[in-house]
Structure 1
Amino acid sequence: MPRTPLLRTGRLILRRWQHGDREPFAAMNADPEVMEHFPATMTRDESDALIDKIEAGFGERGFGLWALEIAENGQFIGFTGLSVPSFAAHFTPSVEIGWRVGRSSWGHGYASEAARRALSFAFDEIGLREVVSFTSTTNIRSQTVMQRIGMTYDPVDDFDHPLLNEGHPQRRHVLWRMSTETWRAR
Structure 2
Amino acid sequence: MTQYLFTTPRLGFRTWQSFDLDDFAAINSDQEVMRFFQKPLSREETQAMMDRMQRMFEEKGYCYFAVDLLETKELIGTIGLGWKTFESDFTPCVDIGWRIGKTWWNRGLASEGALACLNFAQQNQITEVVSMASIGNTASIQVMKKIGMDFWKEFDHYELKNFPNIQRCSLYRIVF
TM, length-normalised to structure 1: 0.90
Which is strand-richer, 1 or 2? 2
Q: CA deviation at 1:166?
A: 5.5
Q: 1:168 aligns with which of 154, 164, 169?
A: 164
RMSD value over aligned CA atoms? Answer: 1.1
Q: What's the counterpart of residue 159 of structure 1?
A: 155
Query: Secondary structure of 2:57's partner?
Result: helix
Q: What's the counterpart of residue 148 of structure 1?
A: 146
Counterpart Cα distance in 2 of 1:9 and 1:87: 31
Flag as ranges the 4+ runs of structure 1 deviating above 2 A: none
The answer to whether the aligner puts 1:135 opposite 2:116 as a matched pair is no
Flag the 1:60–1:160 CA change in 2: closer, same or farther, 3 A: same
Q: CA deviation at 1:86?
A: 3.1
Query: Secondary structure of 1:95's partner?
Result: strand
Deviation string, structure 1 residues 135-160 (Cα, Å, up to 9, x no partner): 10110010010011010003xx2111
Q: What's the counterpart of residue 184 of structure 1?
A: none
Q: What's the counterpart of residue 62 of structure 2?
A: 63
Q: What's the counterpart of residue 6 of structure 1?
A: 5
Residue type of the partner of 2:33? V
Q: CA deviation at 1:165?
A: 2.2
Q: CA deviation at 1:167?
A: 6.3
Counterpart Cα distance in 2 of 1:73 and 1:26: 19
Deviation string, structure 1 residues 5-41 (Cα, Å, up to 9, x no partner): 7010011101111111110110111100000011111
Residue type of the partner of 1:46? E
Q: CA deviation at 1:90?
A: 1.4
Aligned residues between the structures: 173
Query: Secondary structure of 1:84's partner?
Result: strand
Deviation string, structure 1 residues 71-91 (Cα, Å, up to 9, x no partner): 112010001000011302111
Q: What's the counterpart of residue 24 of structure 1?
A: 23
Alignment of 1:26-105 (within 5 A): 26-105=25-104
Counterpart Cα distance in 2 of 1:59 and 1:167: 32
Consecutive unaligned residues of structure 2, counting only runs of 5 or more, are none
Counterpart Cα distance in 2 of 1:105 and 1:65: 17
Query: Secondary structure of 2:119's partner?
Result: helix
Counterpart Cα distance in 2 of 1:66 and 1:167: 26
Consecutive unaligned residues of structure 1, counting only runs of 5 or more, are 181-186
Identity %: 39
Residue type of the partner of 1:54? M
